[in-house]
Amino acid sequence: MPRRVRLIRNDDGSVSHIKRRHGGTEYLEWIHPLTPYRQAKEGLVALKLSTGHIGFDSWAGVTMLEWTSIMPAKIVNEYIERRWEEGALRIRACGWALGSSGEAASWIERTVPLMVDADSDLVEELLEQAESVRKRLGAALSKVGQASAQGWVTRLYANLEHRFFDHVAQKNNEGWRTALRKEALTLFDNFTETHRCDPYLAAQARARLA
């Protein structure tokens, strides 16, 4: 939640008013059971959505039990420890995406797979590869004057999401690299206005994605 508010109670238990601060109140000494956290210098800090979607780039921190500095919500651990019986699991991830000044901009909600036995090293490698391709695609689009093109990042992640989960389950690193390369080339072609850019620069930029 982007703006956690503090409820001020009366003696009878009713709420008289609220207190709030820019960006919301961080409860460093109290862990909310439905909120994932990251480890920071000052302690555990609640994760907040800053984009208009929950894609595979956010998935690891929301669901994985063994992840570098990210801790999923306590309810995830509790369910697995007490009730999980080796079956497939899915988790409903939701929250407020933040606006530029920390206000609640839009409600985001997705259902994503929860892979209890996912290889954390493999997941990290696949995510790093995806981030590398995202940067290269952005640089290529910038090269042909499409730096401000809207929607290509969302489409990149949305088009790759189901394949990401499949490759994690199958531990298929090479297949993931191939999928990333093909998707980057497709999006470059879709977002490049060939009649408005230098064909030589476009060919150079595209070659760096191949």
pLDDT (tens digit per residue) in 43-88: 787 776 655 556 666 666 666 655 566 777 888 888 888 887 776 6
Burial of residue 118 (CB within 10 Å: 0-12, 13-18, 19+) is buried
pLDDT band at 104 (very low <50, low <70, confident <90, very high): low
Altogether, the residues listed in the chain come to a count of: 210
| Token pair 């088009």: residue | 159
Q: Which tens digits make up the pLDDT trace of 129-161?
A: 888 898 899 899 888 888 677 778 778 877 887
- Asked if pLDDT for residue 3 goes beyond 60, the answer is no
pLDDT score at 4? 58
The reported pLDDT for the residue numbered 17 is 82
- Give the DSSP letter string of 189-207: HHH--GGGS-HHHHHHHHH
User: Is there a contact between 118 and 64 (Cβ–Cβ < 8 Å)?
Assistant: yes
31-41: average pLDDT: 81
Positive or negative, the CA dihedral 188, 49, 158, 136 is positive
Over the chain, what is the mean pLDDT?
78
Share of the chain above pLDDT 70, in %: 77
> What residues have CB less than 8 Å from 132, skipping those under 6 apart?
none
User: What digits encode the pLDDT tens for the residues 116-126?
Assistant: 777 778 887 88
pLDDT of residue 2: 46
pLDDT band at 181 (very low <50, low <70, confident <90, very high): very high
The confidence score (pLDDT) of residue 186 equals 93
The residue that leads in pLDDT, 132 or 101, is 132
Those residues with Cβ within 8 angstroms of residue 80's Cβ, 6 or more apart along the chain or in another chain: 65, 89, 116
